[in-house]
Structure 1
């Protein structure tokens, strides 16, 4: 049976599905999904082929949906993941503002936090069928044990003693990354902007910060225990002790499951600032990032849109530009880079001005897959038999 390549794109005005064969030369495009809804993420569960979408609407609020026919029809989750109580450890700084105060100006410290949107849906491991995880804003983690039909809050992270000291990034206080250790069902990582990386080794009962040697230049203590602004974090399943992160203050690798981090960008890359990071599907030492010139100037470095590739776990980097626009001031958001699973990997990257680029040769050269889309929030890829 021939293989099918699918790319799932979430945008500010809905979602799109692009479909091709294994050659990835000619693409078919779906109609827009969830038209006028903000789609933060769309992810195919490889275990059962159920497609999940995290969407929000300025009138109807945030929710998740699932599809068993690759996006042709959708069902809304029965229990929408809304926060219904205040945290026991205090309200994060991001929610103590005018947007969350009543018209009378009363103190809201003891009132429930307001769910804004779901950022990420992550299928569970093969060893935990029917389980999915979701990260949301304000920073909270949810678990589903029935294939995304209902969700429940992870109470211990929501009540973490650090929570009252977390601060929002420019995108709000969001739990945007969930990384599962495929060899240890009790271990997982989450990343919050701006709180840093936290790890659990007991299936979510307790959480501890894992941010040693990661900078936070915007704080008085440049190397705090927590408070770093992680932009995106990833792991290769064949080497789960090795993690990579693109941070507000650099690019880092951990070789010991997050116990400490090594700066792999300083002196090797022209900028320390960017959002997405991805690892090659078959080579855990090949990593991809898209950089921006600085925190202040969030556009392509030198006005030339590029993808940087390392084939030695960040020791050296190559700037890949073949097929990409020579003069373009583009921005790529944290969820908008993905890979497929071919040996000669497809790499997919979307911009907040609606361009979707892809490579069929592991990042050596690039092509335009789609243009004139709404601002792209997320990109995911899957290969179906």
Structure 2
């Protein structure tokens, strides 16, 4: 039986926003997070690599970054939790004519924590776009696009994309972004200037005498000026998904992957690893997760915590399985299997 494309959402409800290679899905639960109601797919047959919720300024808006063979990559929004969506031509993210590049894909959508009408998009080829009017219009952030390092950025396995946007919640003029494979950059003047912040990050694909480049592919405690390896105690120091517990900054969750050549969970066991001391030690979390024949891949944007206490944590796999925990990772349940390959998982609590 097909799933409905409309769900009733009330104050206090929790949402999971799940993007896949064949459309987007919504999952709704009440405050207990014990069972989930599903709706979708939206944009069936089209890949959705970024999915976000904007509940600021009285809005209840969903944003989806959709890839279409006809329309290309575009943003679409819904103000009624998926019942209706905006036309592909409504929001226009495009590079200026003098840039000599064109939009290939939208990889990330982020709200500004200081300006309730500001939004950011990270795209491929690597660039940052900003909207100052709640998404109605968009402009290229030239401070990053015109950076002298840009000619040296090379595409990673997923392309030359700006995949991570982290505004500083305490300072409106500071933000970090990450580029594959340009590395981490930080601005402290609202985007006018950007500095690489990759000292200490290891890039093993480079020649041995260039293992620690100033840009290239670890935890920092100095706003990103330098980084230190925190991989000791893990089965692999390769992987994509990482999430910080919003209730405790020293608690971090990751899901290791075997290697760049074999992008599956080590030993065919699906394990989430948790540190409670900022990476000094790690413990595997396996209760409710398959520990045999679990050849799973979890992508960069596929794990997200919610804003509740105790913390809820959710992740999706390339095999279309969606897992959740409502006790900070101590135990897990499968929320859904049989979805298309999952590309992103986001959370929202409706206020």
Normalised by the length of structure 1, the TM-score is: 0.85
Structure 1 counterpart of 2:239, from 274, 286, 303: 274
Q: How does 1:1-385 map to 2 (within 5 A)?
A: 3-47=12-56, 48-76=59-87, 78-85=90-97, 87=99, 112-125=100-113, 127-220=114-207, 221-226=210-215, 228-229=216-217, 252-265=218-231, 267-327=232-292, 328-385=294-351
More displaced stretch, 62-71 vs 134-143: 62-71
* 1-structure distance, mates of 2:300, 2:287: 23
What secondary structure, in the 3-state scheme, does the structure 1 residue paired with 2:41 have? coil
Is the CA contact (8 Å cut-off) linking 1:281 and 1:343 kept in structure 2?
A: no
How many residues are treated as equivalent by the alignment? 336
1:269 counterpart SS class: coil
* Structure 1 unaligned regions, length at least 5: 88-111, 230-251
SS at the partner of 1:358?
strand
SS at match of 1:136: strand
- Alpha-carbon distance in 2 for matches of 1:216, 1:288: 22
**How many angstroms does 1:36 deviate by?**
1.4
Are the equivalent residues in 1 in contact too, given 2:76–2:91 (CA < 8 A)?
Answer: no
Q: Is the 8 A contact 2:316 2:345 kept in 1?
A: yes
> Are the aligned partners of 1:10 and 1:377 in contact in 2 as well (CA < 8 Å)?
yes
Residues 1:347 and 1:216: Cα distance change in structure 2 (over 3 Å): same
2:75, 2:91 within 8 Å by CA — same for their partners in 1?
no
What is the Cα deviation at residue 159 of structure 1?
1.4
Q: CA deviation at 1:2?
A: 6.1
Distance in 1 separating the partners of 2:341 and 2:94 = 26
Distance 1:39 1:121 in 2: 12
CA-CA distance at 1:114 after TM superposition: 2.6
The Cα of 1:216 is off from its aligned counterpart by 1.1
Aligned partner of residue 31 in structure 1, secondary structure: strand
Contact 1:189 1:199 in 2 (8 A): yes
In the TM superposition, residue 323 of structure 1 has moved relative to its aligned partner by: 0.3
CA deviation after TM superposition for structure 1 residue 86, in Å: 5.4
Q: Is the 8 A contact 1:78 1:150 kept in 2?
A: no
| Distance change in 2, residues 1:86/1:173 (3 Å) | farther
Q: CA deviation at 1:182?
A: 1.1
Instruction: State the distance in 1 between where 2:321 and 2:346 align.
Output: 15
Q: What's the CA shift for 1:380?
A: 0.4
Q: Offset at 1:85?
A: 3.6
How far apart, CA to CA, are the structure 2 residues paired with 1:253 and 1:314?
8
Two-structure CA RMSD over aligned residues (Å):
1.3
Once residues 319 and 135 of structure 2 are traced to their aligned partners in structure 1, the CA distance between those partners, rounded to angstroms, is 31
Q: Distance in 1 between matches of 2:234 and 2:275?
A: 11
Verify the 8 A CA contact 2:24 2:42 in the aligned structure 1. yes
* Structure 1: distance between partners of 2:20 and 2:137: 24
Question: Normalising by structure 2, what TM-score?
Answer: 0.93
Q: Which runs of 5+ in 2 are unaligned?
A: 1-9
